[in-house]
Amino acid sequence: MGEISHISLQRLNNGAHFTFHTNVLNAIKSHTKVAKKVASMLQVYQSAFKAEDEALAISTKSFLTDEIQQADDKRDALYTGLKNSIKAFSNIPNEKTQQACKVLTQLLKDYRIDTKDQLEKETGLLINLVDDLQGKYRAEVSLLSLGDLVKSLRDANERVRIALEQRNASNSTKRLGALKKARQASDQAYGQIVKFLNAYALVEETTDYDLFIGQLNSLIVRYKREVIGQKVSAGEGGNGGTPYFPGGDSGGSEIPEAPEPMV
């Protein structure tokens, strides 16, 4: 008989922590005898993990995300409209008009703005572009009657900039604290199952849990090596290993936070 090995779950970042518990829950459900033996604890584990799933979703998607997307779509459309307008005016057989179009076309080429760029990058480039259009190249913009379009582009870009700042500020310690608390609940529920399964395997002297223990230990070894970067002994991936008990450094007060993904 063997024992489920210990893993320091607090050392996993949020994404790895989530996938680890996903894999463990799936493993438990796929082993009928194990799932039946820890049925009541499994319900607690599933509830805790659901709360972690919800907390993780909240921490990675601010209520401002949709507002940012709408403002970004608006400014992208305005920027595309600016390029198309300059291109259209270049077909007018007027020397001054064509010269203005030539100057502004080169300006846009120099900035090389891609509407698919990362949000902050595009925002910064558009701020500088609009400054040039309303300053150094004001005469060309006026000649082509693009002043209102440029102003609208500036306003839309400013809405994106402000919304991005607000979203960053809204990523408060309260939100991170909720995720931390949810992670701890998942770890505690997992730890209870591990503790009881190790005890059952020892007391009952049965091989009913050996397959599950071996698979879970293999998962633990992989996370130690690939996620935590921890050295693992040669025999730890099987049924042996140091038993896991909840508490101590098994559940975490210090949780490394994964960076919030950009939209």
Summarised one tens digit per residue, pLDDT across range 51-105 is 999 888 776 666 567 788 899 999 999 999 999 999 999 999 999 999 999 999 9
pLDDT at residue number 196: 94
Average pLDDT, the chain: 85
The domain limits of the chain are 9-61+172-228, 65-170
Enter the pTM of the model.
0.52
Q: What is the DSSP string of the chain?
A: ---PBP--GGGS-HHHHHHHHHHHHHHHHH-HHHHHHTHHHHHHHHHHHHHHHHHHHHHHS-TTHHHHHHHHHHHHHHHHHHHHHHHHHTTS--HHHHHHHHHHHHHHHHHT--TTS-HHHHHHHHHHHHHHHHTTTHHHHHHTT-HHHHHHHHHHHHHHHHHHHHHHHHS-HHHHHHHHHHHHHHHHHHHHHHHHHHHHHHHH--STTHHHHHHHHHHHHHHIIIII-----TTTTSS-SPBP-SSTTSS-SS-PPPPPPP-
Band (253; pLDDT cuts 50, 70, 90): very low
116-171 pLDDT, tens digit per residue, is: 988 889 999 999 999 999 999 999 999 999 999 999 999 999 999 998 887 776 66
pLDDT at residue number 238: 53
pLDDT at residue number 172: 56
pLDDT at residue number 50: 95
